[in-house]
Amino acid sequence: MNLKKFKQAGHWPTLLSAFLYFDVSFMVWVVLGPLSLYITRDLGLPVEEKFTIVAIPILSGAILRIALGMMADHVGPKLTGQLAQLAVIFGMGYVFLFGLHSKLELELLGVVLGIAGASFAVALPQAGRWYPPEYQGVVMGIAGAGNMGVVLDSMFVPWLAEHYGWQMVFGFLLIPLVIVLILYSLMAKDAPEKRKPVTWNNYMSLLKDADCWWFMFFYSITFGGFVGLGNALPLYFTQWYHVSGVAAGLMASLVVLGGSLMRPVGGHIADRLGGIASLQTLFVLVSLAYLTISFMPEGPTPSALQAGAAKVAGWDILELPPIAWVSTLVFFAGAIALGMGNGAVFQLVPLRFRGEIGMMTGLVGAAGGVGGFFLAKTLGLSWSMQHSFAAGFSVFAALPLFGLLGLLAVKRRWRTTWGAVSGARV
């Protein structure tokens, strides 16, 4: 890729600010993943309810993506992004000042955090509208790489919660939120192309198109797997391998780092080889990773002396049993495939629905959030029924294979119709 031509093709300050907006928003969206270890401990919630708690922001974000996508088409992505960031800052500030005292308050916080997750429907089309078709894969990959926020959560949130308490974590997070809001307000600019007024009828019309449902399904597998694991893995690692909260966060950060870094790479490869060819291989790899994890045995329990005096006690990162490291590496490989799959899906979406990219980003992003919700929820149900996670991971090992069958069913039609006139590899 010619970087000079790429820079001249669009508006890099908007691309950068969209990345930053999505990055901090994603960080806030999934903060209950590692933080739930501490909040639910203080509230005394059982394991299955912990998985429900981390799933609520994902579902809320999925639903709100459609609303924010519509709002962005009506009043512009920049104003929509500013208002959404202010709403999240207000909610985080409230918890920082007054805390959480019940399961209901925690659930309501999850709904507010969903506004941050809905940033996907604003940031990606805001960046994508500035660039021509041949750069859509890499542009959507760069803007979408903001999901590295989950890496920062997993690395630092447990340590902050151990040393300063979970309530203070919300105060620390307000700092990057405010800084990015200022930068976004100064740098972001709406693309000059005219936006089409969007109504619910427009969405209903899109939902009558079979291609829309295929993209939603594919993204529910790739992004749903990524965000679902990002939120659920700290709970999984502490429950199945009996590690400390800090160790679980570091293990989860390693896993999601692979998916975050590889999203732009997945988009770039899809630009060169075609999104369909990329997804076919990636779906197979994701399925194999989930299936392998479903057979992983439970790790040994540390003694009271080995566990130490941490608030969420367990094996330290330097004391992890070998099976925990093997599991982490399998998750890492699967997350790489999921991240690349995210980039590949959004190489295809703007080519098929460029005139409806705002609506499609909302719909496809919502489907991704729903997929993440069901992954976390299914793991909780699996534990409540069997005191094991094997059934939950087996279900999600089957979904990519259905995705592969779907690709085989549509690829000839896609390549000979809209793909043939798109100006890019499909």
Task: Count Cβ atoms below 10 Å from residue 163 Cβ, excluding itself.
Answer: 10
Look at residue 2 and tell me if it is in a domain: no
Q: What is the pLDDT along the chain (426 residues), one digit of tens a residue?
A: 555 666 666 778 888 888 899 889 988 998 998 998 999 989 989 888 999 999 999 999 988 988 888 888 788 889 999 999 999 999 999 999 999 999 999 999 999 999 998 887 888 788 877 777 767 667 777 776 666 677 888 888 999 999 999 999 999 999 999 999 999 999 988 877 776 667 788 888 899 999 999 999 999 999 999 989 988 999 999 999 999 999 999 999 999 888 888 887 888 898 888 899 999 999 999 999 999 999 999 999 987 656 566 788 889 998 999 999 999 999 999 999 999 999 899 889 988 987 787 778 778 888 998 999 999 999 999 999 989 999 999 999 999 999 999 999 999 999 999 988 877 788
Distance CA 382, CA 374 (A): 12
pLDDT of residue 3: 56
**In 3D, which of 210, 202, 118, 233 has the Cα closest to residue 413?**
210
pLDDT of residue 56: 93
Q: Which of the 8 DSSP states describes residue 355?
A: G
Q: Alpha carbon of 31 to those of 34, 65, 150, 175, 230: distances in Å?
A: 6, 18, 7, 15, 9
Look at residue 402 and tell me if it is in a domain: yes
Structure-block tokens of residue 78: 């920049």
Structure-block tokens of residue 348: 């295809």
DSSP 52-109: HHHHHHHHHHHHHHHHHHHHHHHH-HHHHHHHHHHHHHHHHHHHHHH---SHHHHHHH
- N-term to C-term CA, the chain: 18
Hey, which residues does 315 pair with through a beta bridge? Answer: 243
pLDDT of residue 246: 92
Number of separate domains in the chain: 1
Distance CA 136, CA 414 (A): 17
Residue 354 carries which side chain, given as an amino acid letter? R
pLDDT of residue 355: 78
Structure-block tokens of residue 307: 């566990």
Element of type H or E holding 343: helix 322-352
Distance CA 141, CA 281 (A): 18
Look at residue 426 and tell me if it is in a domain: no
**In 3D, which of 298, 296, 318, 324 has the Cα closest to residue 306?**
318
- Give CA torsion, residues 33, 37, 40, 44, to 10 deg: 150
Residue 312 carries which side chain, given as an amino acid letter? V
Look at residue 124 and tell me if it is in a domain: yes
Give residues with Cβ within 8 angstroms of 97, minimum separation 6: none
The CATH number that applies at residue 137 is 1.20.1250.20
Look at residue 4 and tell me if it is in a domain: no
Residue range(s) defining the domain that contains residue 301: 12-187+198-419
pTM given for the model: 0.86
Hey, which residues does 371 pair with through a beta bridge? Answer: none
